[in-house]
Amino acid sequence: MLEDTKAFLSSPLGSFINNQWVLRDDAAISEIIDPCTTETIASVQRGTEADLNAAVDAANEAFPAWSALSADERAGHLHRLADALEANFDTIAEIETLDVGKTITNTKGFDIPFGVDCLRYFADLSKTLPTDTELDIKDMEARIHRVPYGVCGFIFPWNFPYNLLLWGIVPALAAGNTVVIKPAELTPLSTLFFAKLAEAAELPAGVLNVVTGSGSVIGNAMCNHPKMKRVSFTGSSEVGKQIGATCGGNLIPCKLELGGKGAAVVFEDADLDLAAEQLSAAITFNTGQVCCTATRWIVHESVADAFTQKVTDLLKAVKIGHGLQEDTGMGPMASEKQRQTVVDYLQKGQAQGATALLAGECLRPEGCEKGYFMSPSLLTGDIDNICFKEEIFGPSAYLTTFTDEADAMKQVHSIEYGLANSVFTQDMERANRVANNMAAGNNWINAHNVFAYGLPYGGVNLSGLGGGVNSPETYYDYLRPQTVARPL
Ligand code: NAP
Ligand code: MG
């Protein structure tokens, strides 16, 4: 472990409010566990409702000065944060791996660099996108003038703590809002490390605040705070509905980024090696704890056997182990609770008649005898099965076969999730038609899990409401339009 990681993990950790660390001798503690070893790696003091109130007050007081800065000045702060992340690249990658269990190859190759890019993308975008739009209306001089909302609250899940943090807060900050963040209690470390970098990079006090603790206390208080001007939630559809209802009751605008159960449709002319490679990666990337991943594999009946052979060969070859080992292909589940959820789904699915083409088993890789490890699984059966219909959130997929395009589309649309799907075929006319017709925020061709800045990402139906991330639209999500008009 790096010296900087050790120093951070052993330091006192708690909420970060108005550029102060809130630490108390009598605070309740969340023990943070390395899911590879089950050892406690850090202790984080839980915030209280009073801390949440103090954080909102600090963000509210910081708002006038932060929003009055020019876009260039705010962009300067965001670039300095990106520089700080780059300077601490290995440390933050290690912290994220230890906290979530994800592989160091992924944190160094995806999570951390993509977070740095997020800061630079929105910093540069905010300098070029106009806040005012002239309106062409007869006998009137009129325009839309966009202003930041004020204090924006963010609630995040445990699966991509660092990435989702940046995807969430950076456009809001670039647009001139101040933020209060509630990280998942299970995985708060990279958020707290980021707050330390913000402190060191002299982000003005109160612009970025983090309150640790549970969703039912801190998250709920956030959605009920009278000074909260906007809430963004990323997490399960079930909790998202509750948050939508609470925010709705208080007339706080909110956006919801929710769960998924992505479909991948593999046609008879698909490059099966590519499909097998993309889809095996889809359920082993972050140990399948990925909202947008493909877990319903809908394969043309004529190639189902060949595809199954290829994909199960790939899945069996994945090296499971400690996330910090460079050759690990898949780490553990992030918690014992999540592993048990997967085990329960596999049992229920098979009790309902599904067959296991690959049985997912709890296992103990050498050197990690206690971690929450599990091997990939692939079930097959009919589409009424619980494992086809519900989000499992683990290294598990469900394979069905189809006869023609209409049959495939019927299967895709047999459930209400609408986050991300993919289609595999060499016929681009068919690929684009199917991609256009699948109801989801994101549909990919001959690939799954495709992200880029400038490519809007979000969900519909059970998978989301009110916006997305990663694009100019996201920046405008954090600016409230008001009109200015003068009759001529
Ligand atoms: P979750 O159980 O919904 O929790 C998400 C966050 O909400 C956590 O910080 C949680 O706090 C908090 N929370 C829980 N109850 C709350 C309440 N009543 N009021 C306010 N906040 C509350 O989700 P998860 O288990 O952490 O994450 C997995 C889910 O997230 C999956 O469904 C996945 O698909 C989804 N997800 C979606 C996206 C996307 O972009 N669409 C991205 C990633 C993940 P504590 O847990 O700390 O108590
Ligand atoms: Mg949960």
| Confidence (pTM) | 0.98
Q: For residues 304 and 302, what is the distance between their CA atoms, to the nearest angstrom?
A: 6
Phi-psi region at 301: left, alpha or beta (left = phi > 0; alpha = psi -120 to 50): alpha
* 242 CB within 6 A, ligand 1: yes
Q: For residues 372 and 368, what is the distance between their CA atoms, to the nearest angstrom?
A: 9
Name the residue with the closest Cα to ligand 1, atom 18. Answer: 216
Element (H, E) at 2: none
* 47 CB within 6 A, ligand 1: no
Whole-number Å distance, alpha carbon 404 to ligand 1 midpoint, is 37
Catalytically active residues, by annotation: 257, 291
User: Are the CB atoms for 302 and 267 separated by under 8 Å?
Assistant: no
What mean pLDDT do residues 16-44 have?
A: 97
User: What is the 3-class SS of 330-379, one letter each residue?
Assistant: ECCCCCHHHHHHHHHHHHHHHHCCCEEEECCCEECCCCCCCCCEECCEEE
* 469 CB within 6 A, ligand 1: no
Q: Tens of pLDDT along 453-483?
A: 999 999 999 999 999 999 999 999 999 999 9
Q: Tens of pLDDT along 90-104?
A: 999 999 999 999 999
Q: What is the pLDDT of residue 27?
A: 97
Q: Which atom of ligand 1 is nearest to the CA of 246?
A: 19
Q: Tens of pLDDT along 231-282?
A: 999 999 999 999 999 999 999 999 999 999 999 999 999 999 999 999 999 9
**99, 163, 234: residue to mutate for ligand 1 pocket, most atoms within 8 A of CB:** 234
* 259 CB within 6 A, ligand 1: yes
Q: Which atom of ligand 1 is nearest to the CA of 260?
A: 34
Instruction: Point out which residues pair with 141 in neighbouring strands.
Output: 136, 486
Q: Kindly tell me the burial class for residue 7, based on how many C-beta atoms sit within 10 Å of its own C-beta (0-12, 13-18, 19 or more).
A: exposed
Sign, CA dihedral 225-291-121-2, equals positive
Name the residue with the closest Cα to ligand 1, atom 42. Answer: 291
Q: Tens of pLDDT along 336-352?
A: 999 999 999 999 999 99
Q: Rounded to an integer, what is the distance from CA 231 to the centroid of its chain? A: 16
Q: Kindly tell me the burial class for residue 313, based on how many C-beta atoms sit within 10 Å of its own C-beta (0-12, 13-18, 19 or more).
A: exposed
Under the banding of pLDDT at 50, 70 and 90, the label for residue 367 is: confident
Q: What is the pLDDT of residue 415?
A: 98
